Amino acid sequence: GTTLRAAAAEKGRYFGAAVATGKLSDSTYSTVLNREFNSVVAENEMKWDATEPQQGRFSYTGGDRLVSHARANGMSVRGHTLLWHAQQPSWAQGLSGSALRNAAINHVTQVATHFRGQIYAWDVVNEAFADGGSGGRRDSNLQRTGNDWIEAAFRAARAADPGAKLCYNDYNTDGINAKSTGIYNMVRDFRSRGVPIDCVGFQSHLGTTIPGDYQANLQRFADLGVDVQITELDVMTGGNQANIYGTVTRACLAVSRCTGITVWGVRDCDSWRGSDNALLFDCAGNKKAAYTSVLNALNAG
Ligand code: G3I
């Protein structure tokens, strides 16, 4: 393949990018997006603060625009994210207990119902595990409604959109460590009890190194019977950037249940990481060495 999307498709994978719909009118941006990517995710526009700014009043403008752009350009859509401790609307930040639990589950039901049939995979819950060595849950207003909030969210999402794959998504899970093992144990428990979970997203916001057990970590989750996806890939600039991008791509291709890779933005200037220049295209839309590394990895073998 001569583009990321074509090369990935030849391997039965997708190659996606996070999108801010306000940039779709920038022709440099949309030319690269439409040529190179066959999956999109909203960088912000499907989050709780964007979709339910006032309780019970839903706003789907940005999400609907992204879905229609995807449909017009042969792209699938990842949904990001139904529940997260961050980017909650202020009204939700002020709730607790059963009022918050009920509002959260209603949010999952309403949003997943609105987009029913249009989402390949939903990040049902994002970043619910703690950093560091505990392997446990992150403290949050959602966690304080009871440890079962995650499974309640997955059950509500399944009921609302039975065709979407339902994912748990997190960061600092790029090797075998206490945090990824905590998530692994949750997924294993969910699978054994019939809680509907289909996939795990590995954000892969990487620095200048990549854990040596990156592929093995993906594989151990796949061995639980779930798909895995690289969901928010970006890599700090430096001598290793192109190599690390290639290593991630090869790891996904080596794991049969790794169904696709998403980078967290199109050009370096679009990235939340600013001066890290963490993406595959420079600000003028030119391909970087990291791009060539990914494309060659997709085309190898
Ligand atoms: O839309 C408002 C705008 O109205 C306001 O004037 C402006 C002033 O600050 O803020 C705008 O909102 C910003 C939003 O991005 C849209 O640009 C928020 O302040 C800003 O916090 C928000 O940042 C996003 C961040 O998530 C929020 O936590 C980043 O764009 C987005 O890339 C980032 O994405 C997250 C994933 O969802 C989860 N994993 C980590 C990843 C990187 O942090």
What's the pLDDT tens digit per position in 209-237?
999 999 999 999 999 999 999 999 999 99
**pLDDT at residue 255 in the model:** 98
Residue 86: is its pLDDT beyond 80? yes
Residue 80 in this model has a pLDDT that exceeds 80 = yes
pLDDT of 238? 81
Ligand 1 touching residue 203 (CB < 6 A): yes
Q: Is the pLDDT of residue 46 over 90?
A: yes
Round to whole Å and give the CA distance between 268 and 291.
12
The dihedrals phi and psi of 282, each to the nearest 5 degrees, come to: -75, 180
Query: What ipTM is given for this predicted complex?
Result: 0.94
Closest-CA residue to 243 (of 184, 294, 284, 278): 294
Given the CA of residue 265, which atom of ligand 1 is nearest to it?
A: 32
Indicate if ligand 1 lies below 6 Å from the C-beta of 59. no
Distance in Å, CA 300 to ligand 1 centroid: 36
CA–centroid distance, residue 44 to ligand 1 (Å) = 6
Which pLDDT score is estimated for 106?
Answer: 99
Task: Give yes or no for residue 239 having a pLDDT over 90.
Answer: no
Assess whether pLDDT exceeds 90 at residue 119. yes
pLDDT band at 123 (very low <50, low <70, confident <90, very high): very high
Catalytic site includes residue 232 = yes
Query: Residue of the nearest CA to atom 22 in ligand 1?
Result: 44
Q: What angle in degrees, to the nearest 10, is found between the helix axes of 289-299 and 241-254?
A: 20
Residue 256 Cα to ligand 1 middle (Å): 33
Tens digit of pLDDT for each residue in 87-105? 999 999 999 999 999 999 9
Residue in the block written with tokens 């995650």: 150
CA 206 – CA 256 distance, rounded (Å): 23
What is the rounded average pLDDT of the residues 63-78? Answer: 98
162 CA → ligand 1 middle, Å: 29
Instruction: Provide the mean pLDDT of the chain.
Output: 98
Atom of ligand 1 nearest to the CA of 171: 39
pLDDT score at 301: 74
Q: Is the CB of 276 within 6 Å of ligand 1?
A: no
